[in-house]
Amino acid sequence: MATVRLNVNGQNRVIEDVDAQTPLLWVLRDSLGLVGTKYGCGVAQCGACTVHMNGNPVRSCQIPAAAASGAAITTVEGLAKADGTLHVVQQAWMDHDVPQCGYCQAGQMMSASALLAQNPKPTDADIDAAMAGNLCRCGTYHRIRKAIHSAAEKLQKRG
């Protein structure tokens, strides 16, 4: 058992008495109560657990918590601003009614927001490449694509 120090959504968190090999996913959910990040498969096949680690989308079910120590972790709870202003991706997800059951959407939005941060004007092929790791069992792929394009347009307008 170990003590793990994480920086999650801009806050330093200390998790004591935890198995250092515990995947980040379960530390976020069970230790920190950040349950927006979802468990879907446990083997990096579905993307429901996607979070940002130093801005990169990672599958938190595959990252031992200790390995995330020192990195800046962002979860879906940290996507909006502290004043409640939604991230452009979150707003686009609402505007396009992307969610059906909604279970995968935290992971989808984390992949999408990471994509837009690195590539503010993605093509369909860019979206395919960036989003292929995120399964949606309800089949909301069209709306996800539309929402990403519309979020990109908003970012362009903001300059």
Q: Contacting other proteins (CB under 8 A), which of 6, 63, 131, 151?
A: 131
Q: Which amino acid is at 139?
A: G
CB of 49 to other proteins, least distance (A): 11
Give me the least distance between CB of 113 and other proteins, in Å please: 11
Selected from 52, 63, 145, 152, the binder of other proteins by CB under 8 A is 145
93 near other proteins (CB under 8 A):
yes
C-alpha to C-alpha distances, 77 to 17, 43, 109, 130, 149, nearest whole angstrom: 24, 23, 11, 21, 22
Q: Which residues inside 63-92 make contact with other proteins, applying CB under 8 A? A: 75-77, 79-80, 86, 90
Express the helix, strand and coil content of the chain in percent, nearest 5 each. Answer: 40, 20, 45
Per-residue b or e along 68-92, where b marks 16 or more CB atoms closer than 10 Å to that residue's CB:
bbebebbbbbbbeeeeeeebbbbbb
d(CA 51, CA 106): 9
Angle between helix 124-131 and 141-158 (nearest 10):
120
Number of residues that bind other proteins (CB under 8 A): 61
Q: Which of 17, 7, 105, 84 minimizes the C-alpha distance to 52?
A: 7
Query: Does residue 127 interact with other proteins by CB under 8 A?
Result: yes
Cβ closest to other proteins, residue 14 vs residue 159 = 14
Nearer to other proteins, 45 or 156 (CB): 45
Residue 14 C-beta: closest distance to other proteins, Å: 16
- Restricted to residues 5-64, the positions that interact with other proteins (CB under 8 A) are 18-19, 22-23, 26, 29-31, 33-43, 45-46, 48
Output phi, psi for 63, to 5 deg.
-105, 115
Contacts to other proteins by CB under 8 A: 1, 18-19, 22-23, 26, 29-31, 33-43, 45-46, 48, 75-77, 79-80, 86, 90, 93-95, 97, 99-106, 109, 127-129, 131-145
